[in-house]
Amino acid sequence: MIPADTPWFIHSDIARGMIAAKRCNATIDPKSIQQSLMSFLTSGNSSGQAGLIFPAFNYDYGRTRVFNVLEDPVQVGGLPEWVRAGASMPRTHVPFFSFLSSRDLALDTRGEINPFGKDSGFQWLVDHDATIVLFGAPLLSLTFIHYVEEVSGGPVYRYIKQFPGKVVGPEGAAPCDFAMHVRPMGVHMDYDWPRLEEDLRNQNILQTSETAPTLQWLNARRLLEYWGGRISSDPLYLLDEPSRSYFGPVTQNGTGRVRQEDFENE
């Protein structure tokens, strides 16, 4: 089963997560689904709720340029939004890709914030040997892929874009110097998730519950090492075939990197 002595970073899908829990013989109360699922997850982790971390992503910052740590809802699932609204877990002060955790992750958000860089929550997962849990969620939910791209030298098929704005937290509002790599506008760019999933299973990195196939998990550090090695050999390794066909010539087979000015008109 999922390692009980590591922090868990949980991507969830309520409907499929309920199926996984029931197949693991968990009791689900229809009147309090989120609480039942939280109890199920906590009961399997010896470090208790302090070991649970949830993505609290909200994508409105790209439009509003304001991230309200306490008020902006989670846009990636009912379970983490329920946690945000009622479980009193601290939320990291990172636009777009914030985390919820009952322990303080102590992320350094001074200066320019890169949500996938060396001071990010994803780096924290690696540093603390965390387990990434897919609780009913498919592998394509794995935002960790963008962190691997960044720390492996930066994806040649994405470019860095600046998003200046402000973060509103319990202590008030503060300017935010934010930048991250983004998908080029107007062209197809996607990952080959079926092939990536097959590779991870073949490497015994992606594990699946024997009783509930919609409950899966991976070790963050092992995933970084494996994908990082593959990217080092082939900068386009993660992409599907249509994306490779386009970005191969555009990046000189991965030796160059796309530029913002080639895809966006200021």
Q: What pLDDT is stored for residue 50 in this prediction?
A: 42
pLDDT in tens, 36-70: 566 666 655 544 444 889 999 999 999 999 999 99
Q: What is the Cα–Cα distance from 113 to 93, expressed in whole angstroms?
A: 10
Residue 27 has pLDDT above 70, yes or no: no
Segment 140-160 mean pLDDT: 97
pLDDT in tens, 94-147: 999 999 987 889 898 888 999 999 999 999 999 999 999 998 899 999 999 999
Please say if the pLDDT value at position 250 is more than 50: yes
Task: List own/partner pairs for 107-114 with CB under 8 A and 24 or more apart.
Answer: 109/167, 111/177, 112/177, 112/178, 112/179, 113/176, 113/177, 113/178, 113/179, 114/150, 114/178, 114/179, 114/180
pLDDT for the residue 102: 78
b/e per residue 77-103 (b: at least 16 CB within 10 A): bbbbbbbbeebebebbbbbbbbbbbee
3-state percent helix, strand, coil for the chain, nearest multiple of 5: 35, 20, 45
Run of H or E including 217: strand 215-219
Between 157 and 4, where is the model more confident?
157
Lowest mean pLDDT among 121-125, 203-207, 261-265: 261-265
Q: At residue 33, does pLDDT exceed 60?
A: no
The secondary structure element, H or E, covering residue 54 is strand 52-55
Instruction: Give φ, ψ of 123 to 5 degrees.
Output: -65, -35
Q: How many CA atoms lie within 13 A of 123 on its CB side?
A: 13
